[in-house]
Protein backbone atom coordinates (compact mmCIF):
# COMPACT_ATOMS: atom_id res chain seq x y z
CA UNK A 1 0.00 0.00 0.00
CA UNK A 2 1.29 3.46 -0.89
CA UNK A 3 1.38 5.93 2.00
CA UNK A 4 0.24 9.40 1.05
CA UNK A 5 -1.49 12.38 2.62
CA UNK A 6 -5.00 11.33 3.67
CA UNK A 7 -6.75 14.03 1.67
CA UNK A 8 -4.96 13.06 -1.56
CA UNK A 9 -5.80 10.15 -3.83
CA UNK A 10 -4.02 9.09 -7.00
CA UNK A 11 -5.84 7.91 -10.09
CA UNK A 12 -5.34 7.57 -13.81
CA UNK A 13 -5.47 10.74 -15.89
CA UNK A 14 -8.80 11.43 -17.59
CA UNK A 15 -9.32 13.69 -20.62
CA UNK A 16 -11.43 15.97 -18.41
CA UNK A 17 -8.25 16.72 -16.41
CA UNK A 18 -6.47 18.31 -19.38
CA UNK A 19 -7.03 22.00 -18.65
CA UNK A 20 -6.19 21.63 -14.95
CA UNK A 21 -3.03 19.67 -15.78
CA UNK A 22 -1.99 22.30 -18.33
CA UNK A 23 -2.43 25.06 -15.73
CA UNK A 24 -0.40 23.10 -13.18
CA UNK A 25 2.40 22.39 -15.66
CA UNK A 26 2.62 25.99 -16.82
CA UNK A 27 3.20 26.99 -13.20
CA UNK A 28 5.51 24.08 -12.32
CA UNK A 29 7.57 24.10 -15.52
CA UNK A 30 8.39 27.71 -16.51
CA UNK A 31 10.12 26.44 -19.66
CA UNK A 32 6.66 25.65 -21.08
CA UNK A 33 6.10 29.40 -21.26
CA UNK A 34 9.43 30.20 -22.94
CA UNK A 35 8.98 31.61 -26.46
CA UNK A 36 12.39 30.20 -27.45
CA UNK A 37 11.19 26.64 -26.72
CA UNK A 38 8.28 26.09 -29.13
CA UNK A 39 8.88 22.31 -29.05
CA UNK A 40 7.59 22.24 -25.47
CA UNK A 41 3.90 21.95 -26.21
CA UNK A 42 2.24 20.43 -23.15
CA UNK A 43 -1.13 19.87 -24.81
CA UNK A 44 0.61 17.78 -27.48
CA UNK A 45 2.48 15.85 -24.77
CA UNK A 46 -0.80 14.99 -23.08
CA UNK A 47 -2.49 13.93 -26.32
CA UNK A 48 0.47 11.80 -27.34
CA UNK A 49 0.64 10.13 -23.93
CA UNK A 50 -3.08 9.38 -23.91
CA UNK A 51 -2.76 7.91 -27.42
CA UNK A 52 -0.17 5.45 -26.06
CA UNK A 53 -2.89 3.85 -23.91
CA UNK A 54 -0.28 2.48 -21.52
CA UNK A 55 -2.04 3.50 -18.31
CA UNK A 56 1.05 5.31 -17.03
CA UNK A 57 -0.25 8.86 -16.62
CA UNK A 58 -1.45 9.63 -13.10
CA UNK A 59 -2.92 12.59 -11.25
CA UNK A 60 -3.11 13.32 -7.54
CA UNK A 61 -6.48 14.76 -6.58
CA UNK A 62 -7.50 16.77 -3.53
CA UNK A 63 -11.04 18.07 -3.11
CA UNK A 64 -11.77 17.12 -6.74
CA UNK A 65 -8.93 19.35 -7.97
CA UNK A 66 -5.68 18.28 -9.60
CA UNK A 67 -2.93 18.51 -6.98
CA UNK A 68 -0.14 16.85 -8.97
CA UNK A 69 0.87 14.73 -11.95
CA UNK A 70 3.35 12.12 -13.00
CA UNK A 71 3.88 10.40 -16.34
CA UNK A 72 5.85 7.21 -16.77
CA UNK A 73 6.89 5.09 -19.71
CA UNK A 74 8.25 1.61 -20.24
CA UNK A 75 9.73 0.15 -23.42
CA UNK A 76 10.39 -3.34 -22.08
CA UNK A 77 13.99 -2.48 -21.23
CA UNK A 78 13.95 0.64 -19.05
CA UNK A 79 11.32 2.81 -17.50
CA UNK A 80 11.10 6.56 -17.49
CA UNK A 81 9.53 8.98 -15.05
CA UNK A 82 8.69 12.49 -16.17
CA UNK A 83 6.29 15.40 -15.68
CA UNK A 84 6.24 15.01 -11.90
CA UNK A 85 4.64 18.23 -10.68
CA UNK A 86 2.73 19.34 -7.61
CA UNK A 87 0.59 22.44 -7.07
CA UNK A 88 2.64 25.11 -5.35
CA UNK A 89 0.34 25.27 -2.30
CA UNK A 90 0.66 21.52 -1.71
CA UNK A 91 4.42 21.09 -2.02
CA UNK A 92 6.45 19.51 0.79
CA UNK A 93 3.45 17.53 2.01
CA UNK A 94 4.35 14.16 0.50
CA UNK A 95 2.33 14.50 -2.70
CA UNK A 96 5.34 14.26 -5.03
CA UNK A 97 6.70 11.31 -3.06
CA UNK A 98 3.36 9.53 -3.29
CA UNK A 99 3.13 10.17 -7.04
CA UNK A 100 6.68 8.92 -7.58
CA UNK A 101 6.05 5.75 -5.55
CA UNK A 102 2.82 5.19 -7.49
CA UNK A 103 4.63 5.46 -10.84
CA UNK A 104 7.44 3.21 -9.61
CA UNK A 105 4.93 0.58 -8.47
CA UNK A 106 3.09 0.70 -11.81
CA UNK A 107 6.36 0.21 -13.67
CA UNK A 108 7.50 -2.59 -11.35
CA UNK A 109 4.19 -4.39 -11.99
CA UNK A 110 5.09 -4.37 -15.70
CA UNK A 111 8.48 -5.96 -15.02
CA UNK A 112 10.56 -2.80 -15.15
CA UNK A 113 13.87 -3.19 -13.30
CA UNK A 114 15.57 0.16 -14.05
CA UNK A 115 14.18 3.68 -14.06
CA UNK A 116 15.62 6.74 -15.73
CA UNK A 117 14.66 10.36 -15.47
CA UNK A 118 16.12 13.66 -16.51
CA UNK A 119 16.38 16.79 -14.40
CA UNK A 120 17.44 20.22 -15.61
CA UNK A 121 20.90 20.90 -14.19
CA UNK A 122 19.71 24.20 -12.69
CA UNK A 123 16.89 22.46 -10.79
CA UNK A 124 18.67 21.77 -7.49
CA UNK A 125 15.44 21.22 -5.58
CA UNK A 126 14.38 18.48 -8.00
CA UNK A 127 17.84 16.89 -7.88
CA UNK A 128 17.70 16.81 -4.07
CA UNK A 129 14.20 15.31 -4.16
CA UNK A 130 15.17 12.46 -6.49
CA UNK A 131 18.42 11.80 -4.62
CA UNK A 132 16.43 11.48 -1.39
CA UNK A 133 14.30 8.86 -3.16
CA UNK A 134 17.26 6.69 -4.14
CA UNK A 135 18.05 8.07 -7.59
CA UNK A 136 21.67 8.74 -8.52
CA UNK A 137 23.50 10.07 -11.55
CA UNK A 138 24.44 7.33 -14.00
CA UNK A 139 27.82 7.34 -15.72
CA UNK A 140 26.25 8.38 -19.01
CA UNK A 141 25.71 11.54 -21.02
CA UNK A 142 22.19 12.37 -22.09
CA UNK A 143 22.08 13.34 -25.75
CA UNK A 144 19.11 14.71 -27.60
CA UNK A 145 18.08 15.62 -31.12
CA UNK A 146 14.99 17.45 -32.29
CA UNK A 147 13.09 15.78 -35.11
CA UNK A 148 10.63 17.52 -37.40
CA UNK A 149 7.01 16.84 -36.61
CA UNK A 150 5.69 14.75 -39.48
CA UNK A 151 2.00 15.32 -40.29
CA UNK A 152 1.41 11.57 -40.63
CA UNK A 153 2.75 10.97 -37.10
CA UNK A 154 0.95 13.84 -35.44
CA UNK A 155 -1.61 12.37 -33.05
CA UNK A 156 -2.17 15.76 -31.48
CA UNK A 157 -5.11 17.84 -32.58
CA UNK A 158 -5.70 21.38 -31.37
CA UNK A 159 -8.83 21.92 -29.36
Domain assignment present for 157 = no
Each residue's pLDDT tens digit, 19-59: 999 999 999 988 777 777 666 789 989 999 999 999 999 99
Structural domain including 68 reads 9-133
pLDDT by residue (tens digit) across 66-86? 999 999 999 999 999 999 999
CA pair distance 128, 100, nearest whole angstrom: 14
| Residue 18, in any domain of the structure | yes
How do residues 91-117 score in pLDDT, each as one tens digit? 999 999 999 999 999 999 999 999 999
Which residue in 51, 67, 53 sits closest to 17, CA to CA? 67
Residue 64: which H helix or E strand, with range? none
Q: Is residue 148 part of a domain?
A: no
Q: Does 51 reside within a domain?
A: yes
Residue 114 sits in a domain whose CATH number is: 3.40.630.30
Instruction: Domain count for the chain, please give it.
Output: 1
Q: Does 142 fall in a domain?
A: no
- pTM for this predicted structure: 0.87
Residue 56 domain-assigned?
A: yes
Q: Residues 54, 73: contact at Cβ < 8 Å?
A: yes
**Is 151 among the domain residues?**
no
Amino acid sequence: MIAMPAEIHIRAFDDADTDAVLALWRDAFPEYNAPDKPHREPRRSIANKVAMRDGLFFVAVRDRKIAGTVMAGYDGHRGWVYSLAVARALRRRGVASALLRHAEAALAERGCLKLNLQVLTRSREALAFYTAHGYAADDVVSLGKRLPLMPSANVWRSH
